[in-house]
Structure 1
Amino acid sequence: MTNQFIQAFFVLAVCFIASLIIDRAIKQFQRRFDSTALETFRLISNSQRAILLFVGIVLALSKLGFDVAALVAGLGLTGFALGFALKDAISNLVAGVMIVLYKPVKLGNYIEVSNSKGIVVDLNLRYITIKGEGAIHLIPNSLILSNKVSIIEQKDAS
């Protein structure tokens, strides 16, 4: 029984150390990008840490003799249901990461997308805020990647 505790602790420690190493690598990679990508890298870092620690806990419980098959199957179904329910939010999040990395739209651009036009005043992982003629429009990031976007030079827009 003591051997099982040692193995479980070792598995959990390996997963924890791996998450720290990956976190450090992500922070090193983050330095190559400007500060607008900081939120994206923080999300990736937190996600990998949570996933590795969860995997470590499940593996440690398995080493201690617990039957984790039902737990893993239940979590798989829960993950599927949550993914299906949050598909639009996840789509906007992934599109936001792509917009931050590829920068097709920048602050100050005058854009037209989905019958909305105006100057980009804010970019985040969920939506782009544009200030148009008398209104502020929040455009979901997935629309930016899936629709035609016209970027008009600032000198032409005035």
Structure 2
Amino acid sequence: MDNVLNTAGDWAINVLFALAIFFIGRQVAKLIIKVCRRVLSRSRMDEMLVNFVLSILSGVLLLIVIVAALDRLGVDTTSLVALIGAAGLAIGLSLQDSLKNFAAGVMLIVFRPFKAGDFVEAAGTSGVVETISIFSSTFRTPDNRSIIIPNGAIYSDVITNYSARDTRRIDLVIGISYDDDIRKAKEVAEAVIKGDERVLEDPAPFIGVADLGASSVDLHIRPWVKSSDYFATMCDLKEKIKVAYDDNGISIPYPQTDLHVHQVSDKTGDAKPFVVARKAEDREEGGDD
């Protein structure tokens, strides 16, 4: 009887100690989480990443507290730890792609190659970034489609952020005829650019001869605009320059094909038409037959 009472007493003491370890350990874990949250918030880390990291840390701390309480009760925790490790390994192997996306999501949030609202080209998709989560990101395309892309595909590819800078350069290549006055063409293009208030004065626009092509003199017209005005300004400048060139008698060459019909006699003496097709640029260089 005394042995039973002693055993029950020891068991009761162990249970009390295990409960104390559990409750005190849980409070200590909450205190650690609170301190870590304060430190991470001061480091200006993304709130979503902070919550995710702290949730993982909270789970790990709670698991340690539970293992310590079970060990006080006399439970063999060695096998339990080995079982948890094996389960973690199995889960990790089965979720390789998800872990890859998770790691990429953490990198995107930490290093911030782009943020929500930026116009980005990544993983073969262009669009405005709407959300960046741990496993995937959502893009809104110019035609208003939502595309969800795994973060692993984004981070392993080239990322082009068109919104990273306040200003962008518009690169226009306009070809004029060899018969046109280059200086006049540059003056007309310069007047069009100066007439658009969206074009920035600094950096100054550039207009120059880029290439002497087979059938045209190619001008590079490169004004600078705000990134938000890029697409609309580019389209407007193309239209205005075309209209201004038409008004000033400056032509923009386009590919042409000339058909030359020759009469060729066969063995019977009958004349049959023989058609030779030549490109316009070839005719301009070699002369007409």
Superposition TM-score, scaled by structure 2 size = 0.49
Structure 1: how far apart are the matches of 2:121 and 2:151? Answer: 14
CA contact (8 A) 1:113 1:150 kept: yes
Deviations 1:42-85 (A, max 9, x none): 22222222211111111211121111222221221111111111
- Which residue number corresponds to residue 91 of structure 1? 100
Structure 1 residue ranges (4+ consecutive) displaced by more than 3 angstroms after TM superposition: 153-158
Shift of 1:141: 1.3
Structure showing greater Rg: 2
Q: Where in structure 2 are the equivalents of 1:10-89 lying within 5 Å?
A: 10-32=20-42, 37-89=46-98
Q: CA RMSD, aligned part only?
A: 2.3
Separation in structure 1 between the aligned mates of residue 113 and residue 162 of structure 2, nearest angstrom: 12
Q: Deviations over 1:96-151 (max 9, x none)?
A: 22222221111222211222112212222221211224333212112222221111
2:137 aligned with 1:137: no
Q: Is 1:128 matched up with 2:137? A: yes
Which is bigger in relative contact order (C-alpha 8 A, separation at least 6)? 1
**SS where residue 112 of structure 1 aligns?**
strand
Contact 1:110 1:157 in 2 (8 A): no
Q: Which amino acid aligns with 1:43?
A: F
Quick one: which of 144, 151, 158 aligns to 1:148? 158
Which residue pairs with 2:119 in the alignment?
A: 110
What are the ranges of 5 or more consecutive residues in structure 1 without an aligned counterpart? Answer: none
Gaps of 5+ in 2: 1-9, 164-226, 233-289
Q: TM-score, normalised by structure 1?
A: 0.83
Closer/same/farther in 2, CA of residues 54 and 33 from structure 1, 3 Å limit: same
Partner SS, residue 58 of structure 1: helix
**Counterpart residue type for residue 148 of structure 1:** V
SS at 2:42 equivalent? coil
The separation in 1 between residues aligned to 2:106 and 2:231, in whole angstroms, is: 27
Contact 1:9 1:60 in 2 (8 A): yes
Distance 2:135 2:103 in 1: 9
- The alpha-carbon deviation at position 37 of structure 1 amounts to 2.0
**C-alpha displacement at 1:17, in angstroms?**
2.8
Deviation at residue 14 of structure 1 after TM alignment: 4.4
How far apart, CA to CA, are the structure 2 residues paired with 1:130 and 1:94? 19
User: 3-state SS of the aligned residue for 1:83?
Assistant: helix
Q: Secondary structure at the match of 1:147?
A: coil
Structure with the larger helix share:
1
Separation in 2, partners of 1:106, 1:145: 14
